[in-house]
Amino acid sequence: MSRAAPAPSSFFLEDIVRRKDRDPEGPEDDLAIVLRHWHDSEAAPPPPELANDPLNRALQPGEIGVSYMVTGQHEIAPESDYYLIDRSLQPGDLVKLNVHDVQSGVVLETNVEVKLEHAVSQVQYGGWVTASELENATDVYVGDYIIHNDWVGQVEELFDEAIAELTNKSLFCFAELGGRMQVGDRGPDILPEASLQHLAETTSAIPEVLVSVKPTVLAIAWLAVNQTLDAETAAAKKRPKQFWNADEFKELCIVRPRSILRVSDRVRFRDASLAEMHGVRNTRHGKVDMPGSELIESDILVVRETKTTVRILWQNGTITDNIPSTAVIPYANPDEYDCWPGDWVQWKGEDDSRAGVVTSVFADERTAEVYWRSSPTNPPKDGSKPPSFSIVSVLELDPHGSSTPSWDEPDAIGVRRGDFVLLHHEEATNGCVLPRVPKIGELEPWVRDTNPDGWRHEMAHIGMDYAQRYDAAKSHSPTPATQQGKLQQEADTRLVWKNPKEIAWFGEVTSLRTSGDIDIYLPSGETVAVPLKRLTLLMDGRDGLPGLWDEPIVIDGQQDAPAVQGEVISQVLGQFFGIHTSNGAGVEDLDEDMGSQGSWEDYDGDGDGMDVDGGDNYQELPPLVTIPEASTEDVSGSAPAAAVVPESSEEPASLNALPTPSSPHSPTTKHGDSENEVEDDLEGPWKKFKMLPSAPPDHAFLSKKVGQPTRQFMSRLAKEYKMLSTGLPDTIVVRAYEDRADLVRSLIIGPENTPYEGAPFVIDWHFEDTFPQTPPTAHFHSWTNGNGRVNPNLYEEGKVCLSILGTWAGDKAESWSPTRSSLMQALVSIQGLVLVKEPWFCEPAFEKLRGTHEGIVNSRLYSEKAYVLSRSFVRRALEYPPGSLQKEIEWLYLEQGKLAKVIADAKALIEASQKSSRAAVGGGGNEDIMRIIPGWEDKAVPKLTAGGILPLQRTLGKLEAILAEHRHE
């Protein structure tokens, strides 16, 4: 019985919801915010003090975790128990009309109305208030940008002074590092432990509510200098100091991202007349007769409910105004080729490249219209002028600059709404070639210091010293954290910052024009249109901090599922070791050959054939070519001779001391037709394992320094070679080298009924001197021409993401084991568990979406991309054969007919896809993506879009030319 597909998601993170069993018009106490959703990627584990929080258990499909606004209560419940009140969106967010739609849009503007209550008194005000009447009451956030003396920096840490009103209505002032406090916070836990102990020594009253919070010290990391300055002037601008106290804030300009109001934000009216018009009254706190205390007022309000409308630019270029945010859904998993009008892109053909701006996207066809802003790298030979606009496949567009963008990359393609940029002088440029934009943002070394006695400790001392300067009566407590800070004389006033009206060299990207110009919102409030070539992208300094992205994801105390699961590896290996090789020999179960403990010590490489019952899930790996039924003569031969390794030696063995393992006798296998005869003997080009005299010059690790390996290294390598010589499936070949025993090259042919069927995948391997204690290092030869990854686990820069190789954080059972793991295990894992039918789900976070409409659509789009890119791998391998494998590739594709089959299969898919699209004219949109060619339901690629067909047809033209030339010869 087939499993029912999960229902489409109703809610998303930060949605405002109310239970259906509550009064729809009831008090806002019933409102809750969605903090977790079952289909979202899980975050890092909670801190120990939150381990018992109800939200921390694993979610089942259809569940959400919410937090109630007023009470703070947490609960997990079915999302069907709630209805949506509002959806928080901000400019730059990506949305769709519904989960079934292919077309997406980008939010251009938001309009938010809010309901308010006083943060301290909790008096509620019933009417809706527009966001334009309010301002953020939080003086500064970690991450805000600061400008001083032509430098731009970023707030890394805050030191706050706060005033709490006690149950006896007196005031208690304290200080804390970290910026976690907000006016209106309630309960005894609002005080740090040390301050709470100090309070208990002086009074029986306990904290009731925070009535004032003010930053008194900032730690600022300075990122970049004004780019409009000439080099000499810029060099003379000294980097500002690290710590700043409240008396010095007037020298700083604060610049924070334009953002919308959210529930629980602290705000105030822009002027007193607006507050009076809405009936808002300030609260007064303190006792006149208390020494050292004054009455203070609080005008801070809390957003308790929101109502949001948005303006959306759709991919087809149309704009929708004033649409309720609840009428759209967040586009959580955009395709890597998704782009929108105004985006700068790099078009990458097989022999050409151009920069342009997207004017519209036809999402159902995966094509886009591009306004070209640069000349082709290879202009037309007839001298004709290239068109200014073209329809191209999005699979050939790079809107990002890298499939794995990182903080360390020197530049990016274009900019995005919400980016912060530095402007260059009108007569100057950023020095990059369009559409590239340089990145800037030097991360100061002190920011990376996590030592508790480091800069944060110094900052706390500065904060306490600042507070004590204003104390009427100093505390004699030896613990700095318990010392009572000043009772702020102007706690009800706003901090004074420098006016940013003259800053015209730094701003936020607000809009991307289809002309290519970029709208920049300056700190002064002015918006200017600037050419891309005059912009430099400021990198968020916090993005460069270590450990933010490379830590393993943990759920419920266990690391998230790796891209390749250990138990599946075991299953595939169990199947693999039961397969008969073409010479009638097989490999016994690995654990049996290695002894009861799985040790390599007793493995001698003997490979007597045996039948293994793979169970119901057993699937034999596909043969190299289709072989009609025929009898195979079983000729027994001697087992491979063990490699000669010196029993003792004064000096370590050299890397070229390993002899070539002899191979078992390989009988000729008849295919029933003399034209299809395959010989897998010592002279055959498709010998699955072969030792060659020297490593090829194009080997990725050839430049690695050759060390002096130990006897253990050489002995283990000999056993690895013997296993490879007898156990590889027909669709994997491996080449080792006499002059470099530390290097190996492998060729894996994509399995049948996957997007990779028939395509060559070349991976180079390097054995460090520490092998087998450490796994071999892999380098994948990606031939995608910079058009994205062909597989989530195979990176364009060569990384192979696999638990057994230590490049993915799997659990201990899936990691490399010196006694149980092998190179062959890694090879079979790549072929059987990476090059799969639905590679999109290799991303751990996406496995939850298997069976959902979103998962089906994204998986099919990814498989189409993988299929098109892997056809170009065939062309690349034939035009520029990798060293050590030229004869094998020519034999497979040209002599054995694999190339003709690749071409015929691709042309049949194109023809069927075009026929299906013509028959469905009028349907369009998502329906066309989901429509499958009749009879192709079980195919890995059941249909191609127009955007997939365009580059595939060009590749097929090249492949047909190669085949025609071969036949002519």
Question: What's the confidence (pLDDT) of residue 655?
Answer: 41
Q: With bands split at pLDDT 50, 70 and 90, how would you rate the model's confidence at 611?
A: very low
Of 270-279, 578-587, 909-918, which gets the smallest average pLDDT?
A: 578-587
Read off the pLDDT of each residue in 473-492 and give the average, rounded to a whole number: 39
Instruction: Out of 173, 253, 339, 801, pick the active-site residue.
Output: 801
Taken in order 369, 375, 377, 380, is the CA torsion positive or negative?
positive
Q: How confident is the model at residue 659 (pLDDT cuts 50, 70, 90)?
A: very low
pLDDT value at 563 more than 90: no
Query: 383 Cβ partners below 8 Å, 6+ apart?
Result: none
Length of the chain: 969
Q: Which residue has the higher pLDDT, 836 or 853?
A: 836
Residue 794 DSSP one-character state: B
Helix (H, G, I), strand (E, B) or coil at 832: helix
Q: Is 731 contained in some domain?
A: yes
Cis preceding-peptide flag for 435 (omega within 30 of 0): yes
Contact 808/551 with Cβ under 8 angstroms?
no
The 10s digit of each residue's pLDDT in 517-535 is 999 999 999 999 999 999 9
CA distance 732 to 686: 9
pLDDT band at 3 (very low <50, low <70, confident <90, very high): very low
Q: Is 961 contained in some domain?
A: yes
- What the block records as the tokens of 959 is 């492949």
Final residue of a domain: which of 87, 107, 123? 87
For residue 888 the two structure tokens come to 């094998």
CATH number of the domain enclosing 43: 2.30.30.140
Structure tokens at 223: 């990122």
CA 629 to chain centre: 47
| Strand bridging mode 732-737 / 743-749 | antiparallel
- In this prediction, residues 95-110 reach a mean pLDDT of 93
Q: To 10 degrees, the CA torsion angle through 748, 750, 756, 762?
A: 10
Contact 411, 439 (CB under 8 A): yes
- With pLDDT > 70 as the criterion, what percentage of the chain qualifies? 76
Q: What's the CA gap between 643 and 661, in Å, rounded?
A: 6
The whole-number average pLDDT for the span 705-729 is 90
| pLDDT tens per residue, range 619-632 | 333 333 332 333 33
Does residue 596 have a pLDDT over 50?
Answer: no
Distance CA 708, CA 423 (A): 54
- Are the C-beta atoms of 61 and 80 separated by less than 8 Å? no
Average pLDDT over the chain reads 80
Q: Cα–Cα distance between 917 and 929 in angstroms, integer?
A: 10
pLDDT at 306: 94
DSSP 380-424: -TT-PPPPSEEEEEGGGEESSS-SS--TT-SEEES--TT-EEEEP
pLDDT value for 28? 60
Confidence of residue 340 (pLDDT cuts 50, 70, 90): very high
Band (947; pLDDT cuts 50, 70, 90): very high
Q: Tokens standing for 420? A: 């912060």
pLDDT at residue 488 greater than cutoff 70: no
Residue that is written with structure tokens 């208390």 in the block: 290
Tens digits of residue pLDDT in 774-827: 999 999 999 998 888 999 999 999 999 999 999 887 666 778 999 999 999 999
Tell whether 323 is covered by a domain. no
Lowest mean pLDDT among 199-213, 284-298, 914-928: 914-928
Span 554-561, average pLDDT? 32
Closest among 896, 866, 888, 867 to 762, alpha carbons compared: 888
pLDDT score at 47: 57
Residue 856 belongs to a domain: yes
Least trusted range by pLDDT, from 535-549, 667-681, 751-765: 667-681
Distance CA 819, CA 380 (A): 59
C-alpha–C-alpha distance, residues 579 and 576, integer Å: 5
Is residue 29 very low, low, confident or very high in pLDDT (cuts 50, 70, 90)? low
Angle at 532 between CA 530 and CA 534, to 5 degrees: 70
Is 843 domain-assigned?
yes
Residue 165, pLDDT > 80, answer yes
End-to-end CA distance of the chain: give it in Å, rounded.
55
Separation CA 913–CA 905 (nearest Å):
12
Task: Tell me the C-alpha distance between 158 and 177, whole Å.
Answer: 6
User: What is the band of 573 on the pLDDT scale with cuts at 50, 70, 90?
Assistant: very low
Provide the pLDDT for residue 408: 61
For the residues 857-872, what does the mean pLDDT come to?
A: 95
Q: How confident is the model at residue 552 (pLDDT cuts 50, 70, 90)?
A: very low
Is 664 within the bounds of a domain?
no
- Would you state the pLDDT for residue 885? 97
Is residue 942 one of the residues assigned to a domain? yes
> For 365-380, how does the pLDDT look when each residue is reduced to its tens digit (9 = 90+)?
999 999 999 888 777 7
- What are the structure tokens assigned to 767, written together? 């054995």
Query: Nearest 10 degrees: CA dihedral of 175, 176, 182, 183?
Result: -10
Among residues 87, 109, 131, which one ends one of the domains?
87
Domain that holds residue 24: 1-87
How confident is the model at residue 9, as a pLDDT?
62
- In this structure, what are the phi and psi dihedrals at residue 198, rounded to the nearest 5 degrees? -65, -40
Q: Which residue carries 């759920």 as its tokens? A: 555
Closest to 744 measured CA to CA, from 710, 711, 699, 774? 699
CATH number of the domain that residue 921 is part of? 3.10.110.10
What's the CA gap between 579 and 306, in Å, rounded? Answer: 63
Of 73-82, 484-493, 520-529, the poorest mean pLDDT is in: 484-493
- 16 backbone dihedrals φ, ψ, rounded to 5°: -100, 125
| Ramachandran class of 218: left when φ > 0, alpha when ψ lies in -120 to 50, beta otherwise | beta
Consecutive H or E run containing 442 = none
Averaged pLDDT for residues 550-573? 30
Which one of 2-11, 71-80, 688-697, 855-864 scores highest in mean pLDDT? 688-697
Tokens of 312: 């959306």
CA 927 and chain centroid, separation = 29
What whole-number distance in Å separates Cα of residue 701 and Cα of residue 543? 31
Q: Is the model more confident about 485 or about 346?
A: 346
Main-chain dihedrals φ then ψ at residue 821, nearest 5 degrees: -95, 160
Number of domains observed in the structure of the chain: 2
Q: Average pLDDT for residues 741-764, to the nearest whole number?
A: 97
**What's the pLDDT at 506?**
97
87, 106, 127 - which closes a domain = 87
In a domain, 383, yes or no: no
Examine the pLDDT at 742 and tell me if it is beyond 90: yes
Dihedral of alpha carbons 592, 596, 597, 601, sign: negative
pLDDT band at residue 744 under the 50/70/90 scheme: very high
Which residues does 565 contact at the CB level (< 8 Å), separation at least 6?
810, 814, 833
Q: Is 339 a catalytic residue?
A: no
Q: Residue 650 — very low, low, confident or very high, per pLDDT cuts 50/70/90? A: very low
CA–CA distances in Å: residue 805 to residues 564, 728, 793, 809: 11, 19, 12, 10
Mapping DSSP to helix (H, G, I), strand (E, B) and coil, where does residue 253 land? Answer: strand
Q: Quick check: helix, strand or coil at residue 296?
A: strand
Q: Which has more confidence, 449 or 113?
A: 113
Q: Report the run of H or E that residue 748 belongs to, with start and end.
A: strand 743-749
